[in-house]
Amino acid sequence: MPTMLSIIVFIVLFSSMTPTMSQGVAFDFSPLMKIYVNGTIERLIGKSSVPPSLDPKTGVQSKDVAISRKRGISARLYLPNTITNSTTNSTQGKLPLLVYFHGGGFCVEHASSPTYHNYLNSLVAEANIVAVSVDYRLAPEHPLPIAYQDSWAALNWVSSHFDGGNRSEEWLSRYADPQRVFFSGDSAGANIAHQMALTLGSERLNGFKLNGIVLVHPFFWGSQPVGAEATLPVVVSLYMTALWRFVNPSSFGPDDPLFNPAMDPKLRELGCGKVLVFVAGKDALKDRGLYYGDVLKKSGWKGVVEVIETKGEGHVFHLFNPSNKNSEAMLEKIVSFLHQY
């Protein structure tokens, strides 16, 4: 399986940064998607789906829930096998809650894809947590900021199970601890997790307390190179900017605070106390993730941020090779982070 946004792909795609009529293709964002001149959208990855289930390997249960049928927002919920009927409605014995946002450049993948279903099964089992994997709508059919709006609607739905307004979902109201809530995501999903935490800093949700966020290889960029970005082929920045403009046509460009958090004057209002960021040594996004950590520290935000670099690995390597030692080390660190409180 090709690694998303790898440097090799960027070089191959140098001629695809602008519309081309060759073979009927208008835009080529391989390995994510192609748009044809007749308007046809061909997603190249993230198309397969698996149903919720009782996972035989981990014992984790999952089920799908509708958050807004009208808007097409849903989520997949996960429950570890440690849950018993003796769990009460008091906070004692309840488990941390993780709200997860999948990656895919805002235009591919979904909560029910085998990649994310398998990852959440493993994470829920290892961390002994309850999880909500949000299925937001994808660009270009639903351009940004719709993914952010859908994700915020999902958080409001989660919150409603803890503020007395909604008890319809027992897996949340009965088993999840509203005082130990975390957000996480990879790539574009990490971008969303950051934006949700930032929104929560100014638009409070009364139902739960956000303790921290985990950002894995976050999809951030900017017009000016940082770190070693200046040494990357020009096509890398062209691809990043072109993809961003494609999924968010209303944006003014790569220095949009939604894409470049360093340009956000409200960064200091991030609504949690701890941030854990992972970057990968062979990922074109590595230096942007390191820069995010530095900027956050200097923003006036009162929390603690830790940035961990995994040497010799590419973008979202842990999803494609979950059994290698670096993936296992990442999982162990995330599990520890989710149980600091």
Residues with catalytic function: 187, 283, 315
Cα distance between residue 129 and residue 245, in whole Å:
36
Residue 244: Cβ within 10 Å count: 22
Q: What residue type is 52 in one-letter code? A: P
Instruction: Enumerate long-range contacts of 82-87, CB under 8 Å, 24 or more apart.
Output: 82/128, 83/175, 87/174, 87/175
How many CA atoms does the CB half-sphere of 323 hold within 13 Å? 0
Cα distance between residue 62 and residue 87, in whole Å:
18
Residue 191 φ then ψ, to 5°: -60, -45
| DSSP annotation string for 259-286 | T-GGG-TTGGG-SSSEEEEEEETT-TTH
**Which two three-digit tokens encode residue 28?**
């080529």
Query: 157 and 67 in contact (C-beta within 8 Å)?
Result: yes
Query: Among residues 121, 208, 130, which one has the least CA distance to residue 171?
Result: 130
